[in-house]
Structure 1
Amino acid sequence: MAVTISKVDWQDAEEQLMAIRREVFIEEQGVPEDEEIDPKDPQCTHFLATDENGKPVGTSRLLPGGQIGRMAVLSSQRGTGLGGELLMVAVNYALEQNYSDIFLHAQTQAIGFYQRYGFEAEGPEFMDAGIPHRNMIFNKG
């Protein structure tokens, strides 16, 4: 299945981005809606993955401080490599923009996934939206 990943503006793609995040975080993972939705989205760089029919199937965002977040792939697309593609599009964009640090807060069950793409866990585990996480830093070297 051919998937296209595009950099999109929040103002233009909010409905598509939120549909994915609502399905993955709120419905599947039980994250409270008031914790999923935050005021940072308009300041972020967003990436949207769409299938060959133009259906939104994945998303990620990059905050101005270099944090990658809200990585979400619909269940029908998991295991296809799309998550890694979305992650690396965000990382490469951050590198092109000369971000000094690139980091994320990974759900602990996903640490191995992020390690495969050059991220290293650091610091203690912490809870976010009732889910255990760890800070991970991208190793540019």
Structure 2
Amino acid sequence: MASMNVTPVRRDADWEKARAIRTQVFVEEQECPPDEEWDGHDATSRHVLGWVDGEAVATARWRTVAYDEEIVAKLERFAVLGGHRGRGHGTQLVRTVLDDARRAGFDTFLVHAQAHLRDWYEGLGFESTGRAFEEVGIPHVEMVRREDP
């Protein structure tokens, strides 16, 4: 497994790389409408990029949301370029984003997982809330990870 270095998106050039990855994965591969992919939350979320051998190959973001009468960290937009999947990069990305949100003081984490990734997220400590829904034509499940503060 090639090692991936995860860094915060801090510059316009980093943001362009994150946008390119999300465009390829969500808009092109999964046929998500661009107006659904690009939302007002990008401006207020923390974004990260995953790098392998100097190439940006993965991205994700997290933001705060109200959930179950508390403010929690919602982890979103996990995307790994096709040629880099199956190497543990997605797992590393989730763990890095969890660590970042923990450092910001959060102990409850929410994901709206694509349904086919439910078992994978369970392996990362998330539990289904039982809420299933469709987003941009793709089945999703709501999942939560709660840790002791």
The question of whether the paired residues in 2 share the 8 Å contact of 1:121 and 1:134 is answered with yes
d(CA) in 1 for partners of 2:103 and 2:61?
15
Superposed CA RMSD in Å reads 1.4
Deviation at 1:11, TM superposition (A): 4.3
Long gaps (5+) in structure 2: 66-72
1:10-89 → structure 2 map (5 Å cutoff): 11-52=12-53, 54-65=54-65, 66-89=73-96
- State the SS of the aligned residue for 2:50: strand
Deviation at 1:2, TM superposition (A): 3.1
d(CA) in 2 for partners of 1:12 and 1:102?
28
Q: Deviations over 1:53-109 (max 9, x none)?
A: x21100110112310000000011111000000001011111111125211100000
Long gaps (5+) in structure 1: none
- State the SS of the aligned residue for 1:123: strand
Q: Report the TM-score when normalising by structure 2.
A: 0.88
- State the SS of the aligned residue for 2:128: strand
Q: Deviations over 1:3-34 (max 9, x none)?
A: 21112237452210010000000111111111
Give % identity: 33
| Alignment length (residue pairs) | 140
Q: Is 1:132 matched with 2:133? A: no
The question of whether the paired residues in 2 share the 8 Å contact of 1:11 and 1:42 is answered with no
Task: Pick from 81, 104, 108 the counterpart of residue 115 of structure 2.
Answer: 108
Deviation at 1:139, TM superposition (A): 3.1
Residue equivalent to 2:4: 3
d(CA) in 2 for partners of 1:10 and 1:71?
19
The question of whether the paired residues in 2 share the 8 Å contact of 1:10 and 1:42 is answered with no
Q: Report the TM-score when normalising by structure 1.
A: 0.93
Hey, which of these two has a bigger chunk of strand by percent? 2
